[in-house]
Amino acid sequence: MDTRKSFFVDVSAAAPRPQNMWPSIVVPKEAIDLEIERLLDAPRPADGRRASLIVHPEASEPGLGLAPGIDVTINVLRPGEQTLNLRKNSNMVEICISGSGLATVAGRATRMQKWDVWNTPSMQVHSYRNDGDEPWVRLSYSNAPLLEKLEVHYVEQFEGDTPPADAGTSRPQVDRAAVARARDLAAREQITPEGAWLLGYEWLIDIDVLESKSLHWPWAKVSEYLPSVEDLGRGYNGRRLFVLYNPATERRIGTTHSFFATISCSPPNNHHVPHRHSSSAINYYLRGRGYSKVSGERLDWKAGDIILSAPGWAMHSHHSGDESTSALTVQDHPLQIAMESLIWQERLQEPIIALGSQGGFESNRAMLSAAEQGAVAR
For residue 252, is pLDDT > 90? yes
Dihedral-angle region of residue 133 (phi above 0 means left; psi in -120 to 50 means alpha; beta otherwise): alpha
Is the Cβ–Cβ distance between 98 and 75 less than 8 Å? Answer: no
Tell me the β-bridge partners of 281: 310, 331
Q: How big is the chain by its Cα radius of gyration, in Å?
A: 23
Mean pLDDT value of segment 247-273: 96
Q: Collapsing DSSP states into helix, strand and coil, what is residue 41?
A: helix
For the chain, give the percent of residues with pLDDT over 70.
96
For residue 147, is pLDDT > 60? yes
- pLDDT of 371 reads 53
Taken in order 163, 166, 167, 170, is the CA torsion positive or negative?
negative
364 versus 260: the higher-pLDDT residue is: 260
For residue 373, is pLDDT > 80? no
For residue 47, is pLDDT > 90? yes
Torsion angle defined by CA atoms of residues 25, 116, 258 and 353, in that order, rounded to the nearest 10 degrees: 70
- pLDDT of 376 reads 34
- What φ, ψ does residue 133 adopt, rounded to 5°? -115, 15
- pLDDT of 370 reads 58
For residue 70, is pLDDT > 60? yes
Class of domain 26-158: mainly beta
Parse the chain into domains and list their residue ranges.
Answer: 26-158, 216-358
Q: What is the DSSP letter of 271?
A: B
Amino acid at 136: W
- pLDDT of 161 reads 80
The residue count of the chain comes to: 378
Is the Cβ–Cβ distance between 320 and 266 less than 8 Å? Answer: yes
Taking the whole predicted model, whether its pTM rises above 0.75 is answered as yes
For residue 3, is pLDDT > 80? no
d(CA 357, CA 190): 22
Mean pLDDT value of segment 253-272: 96
- pLDDT of 22 reads 96
Least confident of 32-46, 165-179, 300-314, 349-363: 165-179
- Calculate the average pLDDT of the chain: 93
d(CA 253, CA 244): 9
Rounded to a whole number of angstroms, the distance between the first and last alpha carbons of the chain is 88
Is the Cβ–Cβ distance between 328 and 116 less than 8 Å? Answer: no
Most confident of 2-16, 165-179, 260-274: 260-274
- pLDDT of 267 reads 94
CA angle 275, 276, 278 (to 5 degrees): 165
For residue 253, is pLDDT > 90? yes
Is the Cβ–Cβ distance between 162 and 124 less than 8 Å? Answer: no
For residue 1, is pLDDT > 80? no
Dihedral-angle region of residue 253 (phi above 0 means left; psi in -120 to 50 means alpha; beta otherwise): left
Label residue 176 by pLDDT band (50, 70, 90): low
Is the Cβ–Cβ distance between 257 and 331 less than 8 Å? Answer: no
For residue 378, is pLDDT > 50? no
d(CA 197, CA 193): 10
User: What secondary structure does DSSP assign to 303-330, as a single string?
Assistant: TT-EEEEE-TT--EEEEE-SS-BEEEEE
Mean pLDDT value of segment 115-137: 97
Class of domain 216-358: mainly beta
Least confident of 120-134, 175-189, 255-269, 281-295: 175-189
pLDDT in tens, 182-229: 989 999 999 999 999 999 999 999 998 899 999 999 999 999 999 999
For residue 369, is pLDDT > 80? no
- pLDDT of 329 reads 98
**Fold matches, 26-158 and 216-358:** yes
Closest CA to 124 of 152, 101, 81, 156: 156
